[in-house]
Structure 1
């Protein structure tokens, strides 16, 4: 982990059809918890005020959750998700993708990224963001889809709904994030190291 570098992107602007990274326009692919920028192989987590956000139309309103007005069965989980710093979730993603890649079950993680000045059409203002670059699974040879047992053997606790198992690309796990997202088993120390690197990069960029 000591030689793990963090790329700093000074400015990102996101619209429904495209993004501007340091002034360069690029197309994007949207997910509920992250946006993917193919030209940079960048998976950038949705952020509001530096914390996770979800743009699924089936999800609750952020303000209602954080103000305690959401009383559904998953209200506490949504509140925890919306309060979770994106640097923490990116660190968890990095550790998991590293384990998956080593086991031949996921894309190679290529680099960590922080954004100092981030704004999207949903972000309620400017704030920091973070993400990671991963290899393009569309260039990988197709294989038999990864199984839950294989993920657990690689040190990954799958998400509660097993979406990470169902929604693979060419037989590889590509998405680890949802309300009850996948987590690295016994990965606290590794996650903390990566998170610290992300935080330092943001502080130095500020």
Structure 2
């Protein structure tokens, strides 16, 4: 994949009430693993030090999990999630949304975005992140909800909790991220190519 087609944003600042991009304020819609900016139609993954992050109120404390101090049953799963490079998870999302859109099950992925200087109220300092520009599903014609069989036929392994199926917008899959998030089946080569392109766009 050519990194020159990736939109590079120099600076993003996130507060609970709004985002600032290139000095301009934007509305935000918060999710557990990502934030959506309706104006520019950008979905940015949460990140701390270049790794995936979750702000769900029931999520464990990042430092306790990664330090081995959290004893909950799924602590290893949380450690894996918090250790996942954010560029990789964005690449996985890109491949999945391409497949979903081709199958008529998800929004059109309109482009990749990489952020060189990213800071949020939870990020513990500056870092990088990335995301996608996605078409607005609220403007799509309503259809019957996508089924698990359709997702699997499109090459998507649903998230373990099936939230991607429960939380659809107008019958389209809109969110793929979870502790055990959805994954592209046999998508290793595609994901690696996108992840590498994002890294090159950021000069890494």
Answer yes or no: same fold by TM over 0.5.
yes
Equivalent positions of 1:25-174 (< 5 A) are: 25-174=25-174
2:3/2:197 contact within 8 Å kept: no
Distance 2:68 2:144 in 1: 44
> TM-score under structure 1 normalisation?
0.97
Aligned counterpart, 2:6: 6
Distance 1:112 1:145 in 2: 26
Structure 1, residues 130-180: CA drift from partner, whole Å, max 9, x if none? Answer: 111110000100000000000000000000000000000000000000100
Whether 2:188 is the aligned partner of 1:188: answer yes
Unaligned runs of 5+ in 1: none
2:4/2:201 contact within 8 Å kept: no
Aligned counterpart, 2:20: 20
Distance 1:72 1:5 in 2: 42
How well do the aligned residues superpose, as a CA RMSD in angstroms? 1.1
Structure 1, residues 52-102: CA drift from partner, whole Å, max 9, x if none? Answer: 000001010001001000111111110011011110000000000000000
Tell me how many residue pairs correspond in the alignment.
Answer: 204
Unaligned runs of 5+ in 2: none
Distance 1:5 1:72 in 2: 42
Q: CA deviation at 1:2?
A: 4.5
> TM-score under structure 2 normalisation?
0.98
